[in-house]
């Protein structure tokens, strides 16, 4: 399941435009399947500035620990604090309640450079 309306990265993150200069970020269904049962998520602090490709946080599962990368440069404006108590939302609803952070982008047009659903489907071997 790869939602058409989202953009994607090669690091298996998804991006949803939530405003003119804001996006919501999470990890894909493919990524959560590879990780297994998620038991902890380290979120960045509000106001933190991140560059594209920089580490945004970590997802710890019963199998491993994986870094979450910022797909775009910006400022962390919202965190999904529900993940503190329910990190498994990333497993059960990766494109909905399992979102991770929202960023205010330095360059809102950079979203257009990310992968579309068809390109991501090929990357994830689901095409």
**pLDDT at residue 127 in the model:** 54
User: pLDDT, tens digit, for every residue of 15-47?
Assistant: 999 999 999 999 999 999 999 999 999 999 999
Q: Which token pair is 109?
A: 């047009």
pLDDT tens readout for residues 78-99: 999 999 999 999 999 999 999 9
Domain range list for the chain: 7-109
What is the sign, positive or negative, of the torsion defined by CA atoms of 48, 51, 112, 31?
negative
The confidence score (pLDDT) of residue 76 equals 98
Q: Give the domain 7-109 fold.
A: OB fold (Dihydrolipoamide Acetyltransferase, E2P) (2.40.50)
Distances from the Cα of 81 to the Cα of 10, 52, 109, 118, angstroms = 26, 23, 28, 31
Residue 118 has pLDDT above 90, yes or no: yes
State the residue for tokens 């949803």.
16
């Amino acid at each position: 399941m790869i939602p058409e309306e989202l953009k994607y990265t090669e690091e298996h993150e998804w991006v949803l435009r939530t405003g003119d200069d804001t996006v919501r970020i999470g990890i894909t269904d493919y990524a959560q399947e590879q990780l297994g049962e998620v038991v902890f998520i380290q979120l960045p602090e509000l106001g933190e500035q991140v560059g594209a490709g920089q580490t945004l946080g970590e997802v710890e599962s019963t199998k491993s620990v994986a870094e979450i990368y910022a797909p775009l440069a910006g400022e962390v404006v919202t965190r999904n604090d529900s993940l503190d108590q329910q990190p498994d939302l990333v497993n059960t609803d990766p494109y909905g309640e399992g979102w991770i952070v929202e960023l205010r982008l330095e360059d809102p047009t950079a979203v257009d450079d990310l992968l579309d659903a068809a390109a991501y489907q090929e990357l994830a071997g689901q095409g």
